[in-house]
Structure 1
Amino acid sequence: MVRNPERRTALVDAAIEVLAGEGARGLTFRAVDARAGVPMGTSSNYFANRDDLFMQAAARITVRMTPDPARVEKAMRPAPSRELVTDLMRWLVQRMADDRTGYLAMLELRLEATRRPALRDRLTQTVRANVEESARFHREAGLPGDADAFLVLYLAMTGLLLEHFTLPAVLAGPEGDPEAEGTVDRLVELVVTHVIPPS
């Protein structure tokens, strides 16, 4: 059978929606077919098994979360500074908010990886490569902060994103509203100010 690449992508995107909405246990071929609006049995023609579906979802999320090079080039026009790092971290939060489903699905995959060694190995390789690439980018762009500062920034932003997208009330502002205007921006600035030295 000739498989349609566009349909495969649509099925993987449907799997990501299932992961985000129902968790790893809810990720079945039947659930993917229903979410994609295709005849039952379609996804089983595209993926060998659930492990394959998990792997394909992880790869697709990585593609979806990778910023457009043209947008990166535009974002990097200002001179390297702590303010630029703050702007980049705000952009990171915005990109994750724009694909909240993908972000939540990746959290589900990380949890599932604790039970599936092959998925754990794949995610470890992917995330490690992304962190190393980000560290290289930070260094070569001349952004302030050494390798240790970058690592602390990565860990702090990972925690900020986790709280913001799962338990936002933990980070609620003085009014107790986690969605209050500027709450996340203020927290991003707080993180960067405490981690990255001034230019």
Structure 2
Amino acid sequence: MRQNTERRTALLDAAIEVLAREGSRGLTLRAVDKEAGVPTGTSSNYFAHRGDMLTQVMRRTRERLTPDPAALTARMEAPRTFALEVELMRDLVGRMRADRSSYLAMLELRLEATRRPELYEELSGFLRDEFHGLIAYHRDAGMPGDDLGVVLLYLAMAGLLIDDMTVPDILSEPYDADRLIQAMVPRVFGADSAQGNGSAAGAD
């Protein structure tokens, strides 16, 4: 397999666009070559087979959707309150909206994993590690709320994001995403609404 890192990344980015636009059935090596604007057969030099490409696409979507370390560090300089949790969830929605293709590609990969045992093993292991990493990060960062609250928030945000990314007209006034996040965080953690609005700056 070829080792040109920049070319591989360009091909994976092209695959994400194809997957988001055409679905898993439209994702072929030839389609990726066309999307990337490279000679036919180029992708076959970088991916052993379609399953290999799907696995690498999964990893690339997470790279693209991961928050910028510097931006996250700056955000985490704020007091550990529910107001900060609200801002982190807003940032999450902003990242997904900014790279909708990666989010939709990951949804397609989840569906494809239900039909491909080898992809399921890779995807479930990857997402499981990410899931437990989020819980540990929340705890280690000294954020308010317990582990169960983090899990409930994760699930609530997963549902919100699916609608926001696929049928955004549902989440409109008075139930827009921003307002839902503002109400969701304190309710999930069992706090009063004042903490979610940031008036209890010292809550922990």
TM over 0.5: yes
- The answer to whether structure 1 residue 189 and structure 2 residue 182 are counterparts is yes
Tell me which of the two structures has the higher relative contact order, counting C-alpha pairs closer than 8 angstroms and 6 or more residues apart: 2
Partner of 1:102: 102
Partner of 2:28: 28
In the TM superposition, residue 172 of structure 1 has moved relative to its aligned partner by: 2.4
3-state DSSP of counterpart to 1:41: coil
Q: 1-side partners of 2:147 and 2:39: how far apart?
A: 50
Q: Could you tell me which amino acid in structure 2 is paired with residue 50 of structure 1?
A: R
Partner of 1:63: 63
Q: 2-side partners of 1:50 and 1:113: how far apart?
A: 13
Partner of 1:157: 157
After TM superposition, list the pairs within 5 Å mapping 1:1-199 onto structure 2.
3-174=3-174, 183-196=176-189, 197=191, 198=195, 199=203
3-state DSSP of counterpart to 1:194: helix
In the TM superposition, residue 121 of structure 1 has moved relative to its aligned partner by: 0.9
Q: 2-side partners of 1:146 and 1:105: how far apart?
A: 31
Q: Could you tell me which amino acid in structure 1 is paired with residue 17 of structure 2?
A: E
Q: Indicate the percent of aligned positions where both proteins have the same amino acid.
A: 53
Contact 2:58 2:123 survives alignment (8 Å):
yes
TM-score, normalised to structure 2, is 0.90
Q: Could you tell me which amino acid in structure 2 is paired with residue 75 of structure 1?
A: R
Mind listing any 5+ residue stretches in structure 1 that lack a counterpart?
A: none
Q: Could you tell me which amino acid in structure 2 is paired with residue 184 of structure 1?
A: A
Q: 2-side partners of 1:2 and 1:106: how far apart?
A: 25
In the TM superposition, residue 127 of structure 1 has moved relative to its aligned partner by: 0.9
Closer/same/farther in 2, CA of residues 2 and 101 from structure 1, 3 Å limit:
closer
Q: Which runs of 4+ in 1 moved over 3 A?
A: none
Contact 2:2 2:46 survives alignment (8 Å):
no
Offset from partner CA, 1:10-69 (integer Å, 9 cap, x none): 001100010000000000011000000001111011111110110010011111111122
TM-score, normalised to structure 1, is 0.92
* Matched pairs, number: 192
Contact 2:2 2:45 survives alignment (8 Å):
no
Mind listing any 5+ residue stretches in structure 2 that lack a counterpart?
A: 196-202
